[in-house]
Structure 1
């Protein structure tokens, strides 16, 4: 018992990373909501398992392995939310997000509806490519910064994993599907393109958890990466600048997000970037 207590105190003294606290909160909230709303289900046990695993990871010395495990958590939880959200949420919150957009935009009401008047097959194809490039960017930099030196690696992962934890909390508390569903009857026509647009149309229902609207992690994560690149890898920053701008526009044009989703995503990206810089400057330690 004393050995366990000393080990725990040792971890606490070495500064638990913010992303670890946020993921513990995420799993704890999901578990409690499942207990109170459905009491027992297979998902209650699964999330309890994640909660226990995240606590055990506090003691893991190999920081690269820890980051890799959290990336696996990130992908698996995103998928699980598709099944868990209907159990703990009475319905989607698109109405409220649309209301906020209407308040911000006034007579325009919704930007996806506004851009419906100017849709073009070639432009739709270009923005579909930009939207899909996000996955390429994400995969590349997960690997790229996992292989960099310890200080930069910890800064990047502390920032991006914190961003994802907060984003997933948004999915849990404010689940929504997006303008393409909420305003389906008001769009004049479907968005037509070519190969990449057709691919995205077929792939999106399979890769969405139908709660992943608020905040926009496409906007938030891509901006975080861009800000991080500007500080640490400027040549990469210039390569991704235009694709990221197109990506941000695509989230609205392709009818996946409300304006408020993007705004909150950008705010979270900036806060996560500041956290990453502070992590780098302080050279926080996740025990070796």
Structure 2
């Protein structure tokens, strides 16, 4: 079954669209359709539908690029909005359940166990790795956009499948992470220097407070790393060590539970399978693109 040809939608449009629709329905049923968050998600759904419809009516390189880049914009809008919307449809956060998984496996929250290896130098290095996620993501968008539409489309299919399913996870299993939910469990402070302080500020100001399960830092970086392995080996070699650092940093810096990492890696594996399954041949433009 070829989703893009039979239904006019790419796989990530199903998954990210499902996130938008499900959260909108939950908001409309909980706080009413006139609530400002409900109206925002309705507007995003209608805009998404319009962009796809425009692209299908006029398949050009420009319309396809707008259709793909749209998700980079709406992802950021939805992420920041979840600080307000997600707790309107949930009665509590799920840190206790996620921490319980850690305790069942390790006898304590894994971040608490990691205190044994805390040093200022390691904190500085892993804070740098954690920050590397953002340039890795943005550079990847522009690099593969430059490589041509078929490969860029393949990248975005997997990436925004991850974001759609990951945001569903945030909306159904909101959590703040060990550093917010269990600060009293930590007896060793994370001290470092400029990078450590900058990273802590970015997380404090940029987090929406529910962005824990699954770990999208792990999911997206893992997906990009193995996407690079398939398509650009030099990028895979360049980012291999920083990506491993990102994965370690999620626990060491006390942002995530072990279950978050497992879910993130599972999402990455699914997205890589999906892009392999649908491949470039499944995403051919039905008409020659016009300049």
The normalised TM-score by structure 1 is: 0.92
2:20 is the counterpart of 1:24: no
The alpha-carbon deviation at position 281 of structure 1 amounts to 4.5
- What residue in structure 2 maps to residue 53 of structure 1? 47
- What residue in structure 1 maps to residue 204 of structure 2? 205
- What residue in structure 2 maps to residue 3 of structure 1? none
Distance of 1:72 and 1:209 partners within structure 2: 16
Matches within 5 A, 1:85-164: 85-105=86-106, 107=107, 109-164=108-163
- What residue in structure 2 maps to residue 239 of structure 1? 238
CA contact (8 A) 2:112 2:185 kept: yes
The alpha-carbon deviation at position 12 of structure 1 amounts to 5.7
- What residue in structure 1 maps to residue 81 of structure 2? 80
Identify which range, 278-287 or 76-85, moves more after superposition.
278-287
| Structure 2 segments unaligned to the other structure (5+ residues) | none
The alpha-carbon deviation at position 150 of structure 1 amounts to 2.4
CA contact (8 A) 2:17 2:164 kept: no
- How many residues are paired up? 276
2:36 is the counterpart of 1:35: no
The alpha-carbon deviation at position 151 of structure 1 amounts to 2.0
CA contact (8 A) 1:110 1:258 kept: yes
Give me the CA root mean square deviation: 1.5
- What residue in structure 2 maps to residue 278 of structure 1? 277
Judging changes above 3 Å, is the alpha-carbon distance between structure 1 residues 117 and 149 closer, same or farther for their aligned structure 2 residues? same
The alpha-carbon deviation at position 195 of structure 1 amounts to 0.3
CA contact (8 A) 1:154 1:280 kept: no
Name the SS of the counterpart of 1:190 in structure 2: coil
The normalised TM-score by structure 2 is: 0.91
The alpha-carbon deviation at position 100 of structure 1 amounts to 1.5
- What residue in structure 2 maps to residue 65 of structure 1? 66
